[in-house]
Amino acid sequence: MAIFDDFDDDLDAVAERARDADPGIRRVAMLGLAESVDPGAVDLLLAGLKDEDAGVREAAAKSLDEHSGLPAALGLAEALDDAVEAVRLAAAESLADKKEPASAPRLIERAQETGGPLSAFVRTAALRALRDMQDASAMPVALAALTDPDMAVRREALGVLGYLKADAALPALLLAATDPEPAVRRAVMAALVFVRSGTAGVPALIAGLSDGHWQVREEAAYSIGKAKILEAVDPLIVAANDDAWQVKAKAVNALGKLKARAAVPVVSEALGDQLSNVRKEAAAALGEIADPAAVPALEAVYDDPDPDVRKLVRWAIDRCRAA
């Protein structure tokens, strides 16, 4: 029998353990409540968030990740102010998974808090929780947060705007593309995934392919491929020879999504890369492009040492021959 199997059968017993003088027993009670389906479990966990022992509060915050509803979300939002970092981090992680629409107004308030020693952390966590809700009412606070002095706040604000996919946010996103922090510029590239060919966001994505930080270049290549930015073929061909294999792989993948026949030579060259991850992307891309001209290069690597590469090579050859 698992240690917590009896909890749902007798929540009163769990409540008694949650009041035990031993903080270790109280922690065990909080962890066990993660699996409880009794509505009263949330009340016990919310009480645990105010326990004098930080370990108990942390366990309560972690267990609330498994419980939905407005009270759980609001309780976690308040726990972002806890004096102990481990508790704050657990609350932020659980809160990010809540996606509780009714908590959006309180999270928007928290995303604007300033003045306290933890205000930047609170703003960051609140914005992260707002991201997946895709609540349009969060857009003004996310736009304002793009000028926040804290890098993490700016990054999470871009996540909110990226999920909203709002054309009205595009000017602010383009301005943020010049942010001095690579993590913020990378978030801009991710947020621009909704742009379309021929629109104002395209030059920023293309510029991202030559950013000084490889993670920004990688994200730009990914977004270009997902958004199918046709005018980015030539810059992607250049990026397919990037020094960072992650950028090379994403650029090759994007060229496949764009079905760019002009890229067949450079993608074929990637079939010989020393990293199998790049070779897999190259074979898959050639299959997507489906140009008969790629068959000789694919046949040359028919016996690639990686079985996944070989499988993709065979698939790509069939696609190219049928084109």
Q: What CATH number is attached to the domain comprising 292?
A: 1.25.10.10
Together in a domain, 9 and 44: yes
When pLDDT is averaged across residues 117-141 and rounded to a whole number, the result is 95
Q: How many domains does the chain have?
A: 4
Together in a domain, 10 and 68: yes
Q: Over the stretch 215-264, which tens digit does the pLDDT of each residue have?
A: 999 999 999 999 999 999 999 999 999 999 999 999 999 999 999 999 99
Q: Exposed (0-12), middle (13-18) or buried (19+): which is 307, by Cβ within 10 Å?
A: exposed
pLDDT band for 39, please (50, 70, 90 cuts): confident
Together in a domain, 189 and 276: no
pLDDT of residue 3: 43
Tokens of 71: 């009270």
pLDDT of residue 2: 42
When pLDDT is averaged across residues 260-282 and rounded to a whole number, the result is 98
Together in a domain, 122 and 36: no
Together in a domain, 216 and 250: yes
Q: Exposed (0-12), middle (13-18) or buried (19+): which is 180, by Cβ within 10 Å?
A: exposed
Tokens of 50: 């105010």
List Cβ neighbours of 146 (8 Å cut-off, separation of 6 or more): 154, 157, 158, 172, 175, 176
**Which of 230, 258, 286 marks a domain boundary?**
258
Together in a domain, 159 and 173: no
Together in a domain, 140 and 176: no
Is the pLDDT score of 116 beyond 90?
Answer: no
d(CA 289, CA 274): 22
> One-letter amino acid identity for 56?
V
Is the pLDDT score of 211 beyond 50?
Answer: yes
pLDDT of residue 62: 97
**Residue matched to tokens 């980015």:** 232
**Which of 237, 258, 279 marks a domain boundary?**
258
Share of the chain above pLDDT 70, in %: 97
Task: Give me the chain's average pLDDT, please.
Answer: 94
Together in a domain, 5 and 68: yes
Q: Where are the alpha helices (DSSP H) in 165-275?
A: 170-176, 182-191, 202-208, 214-227, 233-239, 245-257, 264-270
Which domain range does residue 61 map to? Answer: 1-95
d(CA 21, CA 40): 21
When pLDDT is averaged across residues 269-294 and rounded to a whole number, the result is 98
**Which of 77, 95, 113 marks a domain boundary?**
95
Is the pLDDT score of 188 beyond 60?
Answer: yes
Together in a domain, 208 and 240: yes
When pLDDT is averaged across residues 23-38 and rounded to a whole number, the result is 93
Assessment of whether the complete model's pTM goes beyond 0.85: yes
Considering only CA atoms, which of 311, 321, 266, 258 is closest in space to residue 291? Answer: 321
Together in a domain, 2 and 91: yes
Together in a domain, 64 and 89: yes
Is the pLDDT score of 35 beyond 90?
Answer: no
Together in a domain, 75 and 120: no
Is the pLDDT score of 73 beyond 60?
Answer: yes
Q: Exposed (0-12), middle (13-18) or buried (19+): which is 254, by Cβ within 10 Å?
A: buried
